[in-house]
Structure 1
Amino acid sequence: MPEIDLRNLPPQVLERIDAASVDLRGERLEVVDRGRVLEARSFATGELRVDDDGNPTIDGYATVYEFPYEVAGGPPYGWVETIAEGACVKSVRERDDVRLLVNHDGVALGRTRSKTLELESDTTGLRFASTLDGRSPLVQTLSSAMARGDMDECSFAFQVLRQEWNADFTERRILEVKLFDVSVVTYPANPAAVAQLRATEPVPEIIPAPEGRMSVALARALRDQLATAR
């Protein structure tokens, strides 16, 4: 069965990637969902807790708005990308059927259609929350891995519906997306993204770090905000 490409990347970008032999799937920047090729990006993991009934819960930000990061190594072959504030609003408002998965595959741990996964687009980004079924062996394995710190990244799969590029296709601004899943992942797509953002205070000024790495100043600011939020 042929794959349906839903990435919406311009021909100029695809040609450049092919010429450089960049493997987007190998770098986990794209995933396949039931024959559909989607884009994927890694951002903060959710924070794992236990509610009053003893069930594990996870919440956090699947993506952060207005945070520039490099894709496929950045220019000249890749690009610098920013997800605009509000890019997820329409998908959340229209209640797209989004699943909470592990590594973009397998049995859903939560789902918006069944109201076991909640999504909210705020000024920071796309926030997600789910109360997991503690009876599930998969949930037990995931809870153990997250509690130990063995899995500490999240990724989300999406289709770009509206976007803007600069003249030489090295800067991309994503204006609107259709959401497919939020996943806890073993290997992140882009480690430049923000870790465990759950602050109630305003997000600190974000300064892109070299080679797509999180700046020390940003990491410290987020750590301090997390400590305050608890």
Structure 2
Amino acid sequence: MAAKSRQFPDEMDDNADDIGMSDADLEALMSGADAPSPGKTIDVEKLEPGERIEGNVIDVRAGEVLVELDGKHHGLIEEEEFEEDEELPLPGTRIKASVIRYDAAKDMVLLSVGKARKEVFWDDLRPGSLLEARVTGTNKGGLDLDIKGVRAFMPISQIDIKRIEDATPFVGKKFRVEVTQVDKADQNLVVSRRAILEKQALELKGNALARLSEGEVLKGTVVKTN
């Protein structure tokens, strides 16, 4: 019985020609000769969109990352799936991704790392978690923020310790925030900057009081009288 030939994306055939790689070389690479098999066979036809999967990177070229899934099947991740300033993973890297779909004609599982990262991000979120955020805009109740590609909301009362009337000057700024509410089902994330500022103020006050000694004379300025 003749061996079944493996079909590859047209783009990969073009890329192989560009770097002088023969069809035989590409077939050997896809066969898993350069990467260890994870050991568990995957029924690619039963994979569901959004299902999380792991594999070993076996090649990176022309903006595509080729991943060995089980020694028999392979996945493909487009460069656009990675952050703009992020380096593509090196061969041998173990990577987590989400299934987009299985392309039976090309015998290739199309994968997304962005979806997998968001799933992990939501799974790890807890009230009190500290995150870096970027303000993307304002709304009627406060600020819209971006945190690792996920939209978050900050009530205007949680922007600063002092009262904020106009939140527009904060657009484009980056700062650390504390998670106050998490609802993964509704993709609802509420954060606070004020909570962090209040903790910092208390810490500074505590440090200042700790440096005082009994009988020490201090100078001060009256800021308010009753």
TM-score class normalised by the smaller sequence: under 0.3
TM-score (norm 1): 0.23
* Larger gyration radius, structure 1 or structure 2: 2
TM-score (norm 2): 0.23
